Structure 1
């Protein structure tokens, strides 16, 4: 297992870098009441949670994970470095030492994904009498007009190919009904021949008001979905503006992704609420974009 570069500033690495394995193991260490060592309540107090907030987290299946996700959602100071500092402060160096290899691996993967973004080629203006061309002047979607305004969408759909049948249903319910929403479905709308990372990040950040994340067991194994989700989260720390909307459309045998657990989901697996599912999702996507 490769270690993170020693020059990486862990205080600048957001908590979204930590995947489900680290979060589950934190729970295994911190959830049990311990008369000798500090448990999750001491960690929550060191993070700035009040007594009543800590009591409310007791009902969670994994209080330690629940606190971590809440902290990530509400605090601009929440980072990998700050987490390690908190664990050290409450004298849980045992947790830091045991989990450090896994944390370093998650940070390494996160830094690699960020590096891919930073290495995207810059568009160099042509040296001639014509107006300079910018990336937005280049057609990247099927109905882009290179000489006009770029094509815009209500939502980018993050999905893996095994879930494409549900994406087709989403298109029927949200585009081909009175909802009249405009979805960005990569395999349908994006022109071939461009760098996937470049186009994906540009669409999510500049062309789409929101992103719908189709959650399934297969989603958890998709590098592309992982990149898209973390990139979108990095644009809206604390989930301000309701930019991400997780959708669960079939039962899962694996845990729901921890980095999305603090967001309200649209759950298609509950028979009692299926009649409201598409109306709720359409209403959320039709809301004006927030610039907060």
Structure 2
């Protein structure tokens, strides 16, 4: 028919896993979380994704291991895509999942591609210039598990860190989320959807979505503009640390002076061998406070 644009075929291997919304992820959990005797479950899928035996054993204690596996896979692997996930399910002979969820997945991919296209287009007009603190965004659609039809996703703590300290952040996830503490951490590279203003998103998350903020202190942290903004913004919400909102953490020796704006806060120090046994317990208890 004249005037009809040809349908664009999307290579699903180029679509990141964040394109899948909370509905699809929940349905994947309904299929994969129960242990099957004849069909592949989440453990076989996780093994194919490259997770180790010990990691899979730890995930067994979780109520929704499929969700955690998807999040961790997206955070650690450049191969984590919608297409790769479908190929793994096919390889593990879970065609039933692929067939049942394919229409929902295709719809998520379509919306993701449309949003990317909109964000790449120039604005119709220059937005109003405002020197005040950025206005609050809509409270849904910021994080991977935000439910478009429900309440915004909330967290126990926002993790302020530099990319060079990400290995320790992964250790923090394992110790605080995947153990009996069952805490929920907001890790920017893992939880936040791409495409929006970094400063506005972090302000929204720190002020409205997270009860506390853990600041991973290192020499690299002192040179980070993003960490500086996040720390100062969080401090502005609790002058004098009256609400115990900020928790500084040191995990390796520093050559530079400790940041002066945090000098009045009690530090959780991982560098002292004789207190390492209490480190995660203290941090977990502090984050569990109401």
TM-score range, shorter chain: 0.5 to 0.7
Q: How many pairs are equivalent?
A: 162
Q: Distance in 2 between matches of 1:223 and 1:268?
A: 24
Q: Any idea what SS the aligned residue of 2:243 has?
A: helix
Question: Which of 226, 243, 246 is residue 244 of structure 1 equivalent to?
Answer: 246
CA pair 272-205 structure 1, distance change in 2 beyond 3 A: same
Does 2:148 correspond to 1:120? no
- Asked whether the 8 Å contact 2:136–2:200 carries over to 1, the reply is no
8 Å CA contact 1:210, 1:244 repeated in 2: yes
Q: Distance in 1 between matches of 2:218 and 2:141?
A: 32
TM-score by length of 2: 0.54
Question: Offset at 1:146?
Answer: 1.6
Equivalent residue for 1:286? 288
Select which of 184, 187, 191 maps to 1:185.
187
Correspondences of 1:246-261 after superposition (within 5 Å) = 246-261=248-263
- Residue 265 of structure 2: which of 245, 263, 275 is its match? 263
How far, CA to CA, are the matches of 1:229 and 1:122 in structure 2?
A: 18
Shift of 1:122: 6.8
**Matches of residues 129-140 of structure 1 in structure 2 within 5 Å?**
135-136=138-139, 138-140=140-142
Offset of 1:117 from its aligned partner? 7.2
Corresponding residue of 2:107: none
> What are the within-5 Å matches in structure 2 for residues 29-48 of structure 1?
none
Structure 2 gaps of 5+ residues are: 1-128
Q: Does the CA-based 8 Å contact 2:159-2:213 persist in structure 1?
A: yes
Q: How does 1:202-241 map to 2 (within 5 A)?
A: 202-241=204-243
Match of 1:173 in 2: 175
Judged with a 3 Å threshold, the aligned counterparts in structure 2 of structure 1 residues 141 and 258 are, in CA distance, closer, same or farther, namely same
CA contact (8 A) 1:116 1:197 kept: no
The 2-side partners of 1:147 and 1:162 are apart by 36
Equivalent of 1:277 in 279, 282, 286: 279
- Deviation for aligned residue 1:147: 1.4
User: Residue deviations 1:60-94, cap 9 Å, x none?
Assistant: xxxxxxxxxxxxxxxxxxxxxxxxxxxxxxxxxxx
Aligned-partner Cα distance in 1 for 2:133–2:212: 25
Residues 217 and 251, structure 2, Cα contact 8 Å, conserved in 1? yes
Question: 2:211 is paired with a residue of what secondary structure?
Answer: strand
Quote the offset at 1:121 in angstroms: 5.5
What are the residue-to-residue correspondences of 1:142-161 with 2, within 5 Å?
A: 142-161=144-163
Equivalent runs, 1:22-101 vs 2, <5 Å = none
Cα separation, 2, equivalents of 1:197 and 1:144: 19
User: 1:118 offset after TM fit, Å?
Assistant: 2.1
TM-score of the superposition, structure 1-length normalised? 0.54
Q: Judging changes above 3 Å, is the alpha-carbon distance between structure 1 residues 122 and 278 closer, same or farther for their aligned structure 2 residues? A: closer
Structure 1 gaps of 5+ residues are 1-114, 124-134
CA contact (8 A) 1:157 1:213 kept: yes
- Between the aligned partners of 2:149 and 2:254, the Cα distance in structure 1 is 45
Q: Following the alignment from structure 1 to structure 2, what is the Cα–Cα distance between the partners of residues 159 and 116? A: 28
How has the CA–CA distance of structure 1 residues 211 and 145 changed in structure 2, closer, same or farther, with 3 Å as cutoff? same
Equivalent-residue separation in structure 1 for 2:213 and 2:223 (angstroms): 19
Distance 1:213 1:159 in 2: 6
